[in-house]
Structure 1
């Protein structure tokens, strides 16, 4: 995303009143544990509810390299998610090939540029499922 730590701070301090609604879509704060540092890392990401879970996309704007937060959750899938004022623990997993088509449609409805990002890389762009624990 195009946000920095200032955006994360304002989102957290205002329970999402500042930062949840962004350019016609919605943003949550995903906190992962650094796979090398062990430190907590918070990232604002476009999200959508999906059944009892939440979805985010590991696009990095179509880069050939996955976002660092995705590498972190692969190493430790126990994460925290903040949606507006609600903060909770979740377990992250990559959508299966069977799940992904419908989940991808859900996410491109939220942010159509995800389809554009697929044309910029040969990397399979994952949809991440965040399930409450």
Structure 2
């Protein structure tokens, strides 16, 4: 195969680290967040880069809280994540949890908030996908590695839940 052909192949099919590496990095990131009591591991998006947040969902089967650190971009007051599962097939657990229990909490570099999740559809999805493309020019090539469409998840602010009195 010629060098020219190789470069075309590389552009159309981006390399993704092995699954074991991706899962190890996720675990290390969560561990770093935990041992620093949240001082390290979260950041705001800047310019053409994404930020990181900690999402806490309610388990669809257990009802227990589950937390994960995700990349996000801002869309006004909304936070927008991609349910990509490290570009592997299958939906990430956090997204499956949100489909059953849409209310969640997020920790950001500048504080926490309560959110309500929904999957962007139609024009909203196209607009938010384009926003992510500004951050990652290879987004479509990565998404093509999955056999199903990648959900664009919108986390809208919601009021603090009432506590029983």
Range of TM-score over shorter length: 0.7 to 0.9
- 1:62-115: CA deviations, max 9, x gaps? 222010100000000001011113101100000012211110121233344532
Where is the helix percentage greater, Structure 1 or Structure 2?
Answer: 2
1:53 and 1:61 map into 2 onto residues whose CA distance is: 22
TM-score by length of 2: 0.70
Partners of 1:59 and 1:114 within 8 A in 2: no
2:124 pairs, out of 99, 104, 107, with 99
Match of 1:65 in 2: 90
2:133 pairs, out of 108, 111, 119, with 108
2:83 and 2:113 map into 1 onto residues whose CA distance is: 20
TM-score by length of 1: 0.85
Question: Which sections of structure 2, spanning at least 5 residues, go unmatched?
Answer: 1-21, 159-165
Match of 2:26 in 1: 3
Deviation at 1:117, TM superposition (A): 2.3
| Pair 1:74-2:99 in alignment | yes
Bigger Rg, structure 1 or 2: 2
Higher RCO (C-alpha 8 Å, min separation 6): 1
C-alpha RMSD of matched pairs (Å)? 2.1
2:41 pairs, out of 5, 16, 19, with 19
Q: How many positions carry a matched residue from both structures? A: 129
Where is the strand percentage greater, Structure 1 or Structure 2?
Answer: 1
Partners of 1:8 and 1:43 within 8 A in 2: no
2:58 and 2:138 map into 1 onto residues whose CA distance is: 28
Runs of 4+ off more than 6 Å: none
2:136 and 2:69 map into 1 onto residues whose CA distance is: 14
1:109 and 1:39 map into 2 onto residues whose CA distance is: 36
Question: Which sections of structure 1, spanning at least 5 residues, go unmatched?
Answer: none
